[in-house]
Structure 1
Amino acid sequence: MVQVGPDPRRWKALALLCGAFFMVILDSAIVVVALPSLEADLGFAPSDLQWVLSAYALSFGGLLLLGGRSSDLLGRRRMFMVGLVLFTVASLLCGLAWSPAALIAARSFQGVGAAVLTPTALSIVMTTFEEGAERNKALGIWGSLGGIGGTAGWLIGGPLTDISWEWVFLINVPIGVLALALAPRLLSESRATQQRRGFDPLGALSATAALVLLVYAVVEAPEAGWSDPQTIGLLAGSAALFVLFAVIESRVAQPLLPLRIFRSWTLVGANATMVLFSSVAFGMPFLLTLYAQQVLGFSPVRFGLTSVVFPVSVAVAAIVGQGLVLKLGFRVVASAGLVLLGVGCLYFTQVSADGSYFGDIFLGLLVSGLGVGFTFVTVSIAALAGVGEREAGVASGLSNTTFQIGAAVGVAIVSTVAVSRTNDVIGAGGDPVGALVEGHQAGFLATAVLAGIGLLAALLLLRRPPTATPEEHPPLVPVAEHTD
């Protein structure tokens, strides 16, 4: 039976979908607070610690487009539940990890589950709410919770890490089981019935391999040297694979990423801005938690509780930003957010060895949080503006892909800058604590530079969405449900 009119369960469904998205984004951030504990308990080398974040981000970002495509073709509710199972099982494996290699492998597997779950959930939101005020409201709620989840990880992760770092992963298990039980009751099955079935494994493989080579090149460059043949070869290989990906997408019958989607200038601008924004949004917390715990001697609980100003300011800015986008447009709100984020990062460049929370951290957290809230909710809405049901999974997958690519590259860049500067100071005879602080200062400066580049992208590329025609948004054709 085809349902006429809006689904009466749509707001309950939105709550479930946002809850799952919150869990995924939370897991991207909650582990940040546990990094010093992971380094001590599992024996991570300082230069390898960033792989706890990057392994997750790479598999997440590299497979997101395939996840979005799968949801369009195989059924959105079905793939949402598959993603939940993968993510929940991987979270259990992360909690049981016994070595750095085991944790990195489990985090990669967790990223696969997130790559299926996230674009599927967002495409269900897109196809459940019609474009207009109601969809904008739903996307605003989605973006707000995503921004909050990305920062509340500090608040939640502190107490959990103080109990045992394993709990930052094990907390996902009961949440995933509950969501899995509710999904069949609240979500309707749908798929893009106008599309022919077909996947693009070569496209997925080339894109993921290109990202891995890029991040590995950045991580290894300080030790090998930027002009070393290894670094040049890795960067050249990454560029070649990106070109190969574009060639594959232009020729394959059912591309993973149809190149025609880039005809939308708003979509291009939103995703370019998203890459740079997320590089800062992940790079800055990575450095800050290490500074607070390793230099100032904060416990995970103290750092998490005293950092509550960050998620609160993110939430306030995301809620306000949602309304401002409709009045002022994407460019103004995103640019304001990136300015605030850049100012917050510049403030952190003055951290010191004998610093304090209110002297070195509080104001930077407040300003950065406002910047994160304004920027994330704006680019999340912009990345999906004017996108029809036919390509909802692809557009949502692309948006989340750029977010995770930025996260992986951003953490790699700031980690590389910080470790390189620390080693240089120690090599010149500096004391270890002072060297660590100078490394953090250099890393924070790198995040400020990235925020500045993101501001240029927002000013130059973000535009108001074009007016959609009925042909661009074909009505959703529900798929008959089977009880077998």
Structure 2
Amino acid sequence: MLIAGRFLQGVGAALASAVVLGMIVGLYPEPAGQAKAMGIYSFVSAGGASLGLIAGGVITDTLGWHRVFLINLPIGVLALIAGVRMLGAQSGLGLRAGADAIGAVLVTAGLSLGVFTISRVPEEKFGAAELSTYGAVSVLLLAGFVLRQAKAARPLLALRIFRSREISGANIAVVLVFAAGFGFQFLNALYLQRVLGFDSMRTGLAFLPAPVVIGTMSLFFTAKLTGRHGTRRVLLTGLLFLGAGLLLLSRAPADGDYWVHVAPALVVQGFGMGLTVPSVIMRAMSAARPSDAGLASGLNNTAQQAGAAVGLAVLATVATTRGNSLLSSGTEQAQALRDGYSLAFLCAAAFVLLAWAVTFLVLRDAPAQGTDAGQAAPAPHRDEPAAAPGPYSRLHRG
């Protein structure tokens, strides 16, 4: 029942979140305004993360974990009412034009089977031959999805978008950043609870420094920094801080103190994420033509979700395998768990290092824009028409 409910939530989330970035680009085509909008987007995301962690801990301790799912109902109703009242209508092809259901099944099955395979590596009941078979089938399903997109009349993901070096590089960085970020959150919660002995409420409160710093950076500083120095330099700087925070966390001992070993790492990591997330998303979206804004938004959302899922599976597998190995050799449980989480945090830092290398080698320096929202956008390329007013102009005028 839990898996079925989460699957339905995933369908709704895919429909809603995949278009958000495209809407932002349509509402704010100018670089300066778009940078501020992306900062607000990241601030809201960080605020939701902090409130969710705290509220989840409180609800779990007081009402039971089942009730955490109910918190989405009033939020969803308010978002629906606001969307109906504030967003203008947008015409589209509709489902009558056709939808690539086969492609959807292939990519969903391929990613799901891949994550399942990785997460089952530490379990003794799955042999190497069985896991290799699952992995091979996952690769074949994803390869089938790519072939399907190349031939489908209306593909879910038009492969031509990958001709852009900027879009491809930025989305690779997105995958790696979200792989590190989501995997870290899960494992850090386990470290706080299973090693330091925190309950659910204290665990939620313990995460608060990171979202607060992320939101502050995203809302007040990142847009100004990208306007002055360009997204590439800000992204490279943010990745360095993000990696440094993970390295600090990997050194937290089994008898660690939260304020000494965890909180400073969360502040450094939050500083890095506050610079990284708006910059990398803006870079992935700004490289797309106006006509491809929706496609780029869907690709970016897919990169985020795929990175989070695969990264969580990889890091959890690393931590579990290392911890089980130490337990079998006689290491004390708290120390074994800590060493497993530490190795996983180091792997997350390696993901960030790879993202830094991709950014440095693939993405080019772009001219920085002014920081004033009213500054005019640069002239479009000769072979690209100027962006027409977006379909959500009613909200923009408001």
Give the deviation of 1:155 after TM superposition: 3.3
- Cα distance between partner residues in 2 of 1:234 and 1:264: 32
Please name the residue that 2:141 is paired with. Answer: 241
| Length, aligned pairs only | 378
Could you say which residue in structure 2 is the equivalent of 1:313?
213
Q: State the shift of 1:128 in Å.
A: 3.0
Instruction: Work out whether residues 118 and 317 of structure 2, in 8 Å CA contact, stay in contact via their aligned partners in 1.
Output: yes
2:56 to 127, 138, 157: 157
Which letter maps to 1:451? V
RMSD between superposed Cα atoms in Å: 2.6
**Counterparts of 2:23 and 2:141, CA distance in 1:** 31
> Deviation at 1:471?
4.1
Given the alignment, which residue of 226, 230, 235 partners 2:130? 230
Q: Any idea what SS the aligned residue of 1:280 has?
A: helix
**Corresponding residue of 2:371:** none
CA, structure 1 residues 293+391, in 2 after alignment: closer, same or farther (shift >3 Å)?
same
Higher deviation after alignment, 132-141 or 166-175: 132-141
Moved more, 437-446 or 147-156: 147-156
Equivalents in 1 of 2:89, 2:106: separation in Å? 31
2: CA distance, partners of 1:253 / 1:379: 31
> Are the counterparts in 1 of residues 29 and 387 from structure 2 also a CA contact under 8 Å?
no
User: Is the CA contact 2:32–2:223 (under 8 Å) kept in the aligned structure 1?
Assistant: no
Does 2:12 correspond to 1:113? yes
The match for 2:266 is: 365
The structural deviation recorded for 1:441 is 1.6
Question: Unaligned regions of 5+ residues in structure 2, if any?
Answer: 368-379, 393-398
Counterpart selection for 1:390 from 291, 300, 320 = 291
Tell me the secondary structure at the aligned position of residue 410 of structure 1. helix
Question: In the TM superposition, what is the alpha-carbon distance from 1:379 to its structure 2 partner?
Answer: 0.9
Q: Distance in 1 between matches of 2:248 and 2:179?
A: 17
Inter-partner Cα distance in structure 2 for 1:127 and 1:194 = 19
| TM-score, with structure 1 as normaliser | 0.72
Identify the structure with bigger relative contact order (alpha carbons < 8 Å, sequence gap 6+): 2
Match of residue 475 from structure 1: 388
2:3 to 101, 104, 109: 104
Instruction: Tell me whether 459-468 or 470-479 shows the greater mean CA deviation.
Output: 470-479
Asked if 1:334 is matched to 2:334, the reply is: no
2:191 paired residue number: 291
Query: What's the counterpart of residue 377 of structure 2?
Result: none
How many Å apart are 1:115 and its aligned residue?
Answer: 0.4
CA distance in 2, matches of 1:137, 1:156: 28
Give the counterpart of 2:180 among 280, 291, 304: 280
Give the 3-state SS of the residue equivalent to 1:298 in structure 2: coil
Aligned partner of 2:114 among 209, 214, 219: 214
Q: Report the CA distance between 1:415 and its aligned residue.
A: 0.8
- Establish whether residue 199 from structure 1 lines up as the match of residue 99 from structure 2: yes
> Which segment is superposed worse, 184-193 or 411-420?
184-193
Q: Following the alignment from structure 1 to structure 2, what is the Cα–Cα distance between the partners of residues 452 and 406? A: 15
Which amino acid in structure 2 is aligned with residue 119 of structure 1? A
* 1:230-278 deviation line (CA, Å, top 9, x unaligned): 2222222222222222221111221111111122222111100000000
Alpha-carbon distance in structure 2 between the residues aligned to 1:332 and 1:170: 41
